[in-house]
Amino acid sequence: MLGRSRLKPLADQVIVITGASSGIGLATARLAAKGGARVMMVARNAEALAAVAEEIRIDGGVVDTVVADVSEEEDVRRVVSTTVQRFGGFDTWVNNAAVALFGSVEEVSIEDHRRLFEVNYWGVVYGTLNAIEHLRHKGGAIITIGSILSEIPVPLQGPYVAAKHAVKGFIDVTRQELDMERAPISMTLIKPSAVDTPYPDHARTYSSSQPKTPPPRYSPNLVARAILTCAIHPRREMTVGGGGKAMVLTHRAFPWLFDVIMSSGGEALQKRDEAVGEGDQPTRDNLYQPRRDGDSRGVSGLGGREVSLYTEVRLRPGAAIVLTGAAIAIGFAVANRVSTGRWFWEEEPRGWRRLVAADWLHRRRHPIADWTDHARHRIGDVAGEAQYRLGTAAGEAGHRIGSLAGQVETGLGALAGGAKAALGGIAGAANRRLGWLAGTAEAESETLAERARAALPEWTDHRRHRSWW
């Protein structure tokens, strides 16, 4: 199924986010809008929803809102139809809305217990089924916010733990059934560790102390990054926060030890020193009705880590490969040092090392002398190569110059011969023309002389008989 999912780039997506008026949902909406996605924000609190949506629009984001309660299936259907009308559909659906209870299983009323399931479990069911109907043919992603409590139990949050376990089971089965149909839908379960959100501030508590999430806590922006990464790269599931992953692994490997730790210290880790009624905590219980919203961070000021090395590795598989390779190399070097008393580069080369890197390993024993010899030989090689190349270039240049001189000489000879022949031709033509002119002049002279001789006697007789007086 994950291989058949072709998810769009974030900037080309329309993303629906439930529970978007605070906490992880609000952080995700802000980050998605900043990345160019068009966002449909869904929550019960109309006033807070309008305020945060306007803030995102001022920052240049494209968002719209739907006031809806995900525990009502009709509201969820209205979210889908409104998104289709506003944006033409959606590409990613994020099941994020949730409520919280703090109290022992015996203390929590059945009514409150059922209400939590209506939001945390049935809200996911309604959202997932409606999203599948829309994405079945076009493809897309359905991302559900679970918790590390989907895999481990903690005291005082029994209904929440049960609902998150149910959500994990529902998502896993739905993923398998979609795979059977070969539907192009990516199903992802995000499992955050404790996060610095208004989660405990919004919770209904049965204790006299105000609740809190146990450390280590992480920033909601870290979870938002994981959600948007899964919106463009199909993932089956992802745990956010190395502290939570360590708790899950401890529970799997040593369940009895985990139970001892939780039963002895779990309650203290989830209670603050302030008593209920101090501050504004009672005004923020939103189990049945929305109260104060609009914050992505908790009001307790406990803070959360902005970076998790474990999560960064999960978000960047390439970095995970590099770190794994480095860890293996370091482990091999340390194991070799422990077993032989020497680092592997201090040993005489043998076996595969003699074939692969014997020369390098040998030189490591005398690095300065070997590096000097190597540099001297290398410089000599470079100088010889340069001399050879210069000689070759000089010979080729001489050959080219000689060839060019011969070509010039031949050209000049041909030009001189051509000029001589042309001048000879001109002289012959001039000589012939002058000869013809001379012959013509001579013939004309003889004709004139003959005429003069013929006319002379007649002129003489005339002069003789002419009287001058």
179-200 core/surface letters (b: 16 or more CB in 10 A; e: else)? eeeebbbbbbbbbbbbbbbbbb
Instruction: Please list, in sequence order, all residues whose beta carbon lies within 8 angstroms of the beta carbon of residue 247, skipping any fewer than 6 positions away.
Output: 148, 152, 193, 258
Q: Is 249 left (phi over 0), alpha (psi -120 to 50) or beta?
A: alpha
As to burial, measured by CB atoms within 10 angstroms (0-12 exposed, 13-18 middle, 19+ buried), residue 294 is middle
**Distance between terminal CA atoms of the chain?**
154
What letter would DSSP give residue 4?
A: T
Return the beta strands (E) in 7-50 as ranges.
Answer: 14-18, 38-43
**Phi, then psi, of 411 in degrees rounded to 5:** -65, -45
- Identify the active-site residue in 126, 160, 199, 218: 160
Q: Which amino acid is at 52?
A: V
What is the number of other CB atoms lying within 10 angstroms of the CB of residue 280?
11
Helix axes 23-34, 46-58, angle to 10 degrees: 30
Q: Is 442 left (phi over 0), alpha (psi -120 to 50) or beta?
A: alpha
Asked whether the beta carbons of 215 and 243 are under 8 A apart, the reply is yes
Identify the bridge partners of residue 95 per DSSP, sorted by sequence position. 144
For residue 335 the two structure tokens come to 């194991």
Return the beta strands (E) in 146-250 as ranges.
Answer: 185-192, 204-205, 209-211, 237-240
For residue 52 the two structure tokens come to 């945060």
d(CA 147, CA 238) in angstroms, rounded, equals 10
Active site residue 160: yes
3-state secondary structure of 67: strand
Q: How many Cα atoms are found within 13 Å in the side-chain-facing hemisphere of 394?
A: 6
Enzyme catalytic residues: 160
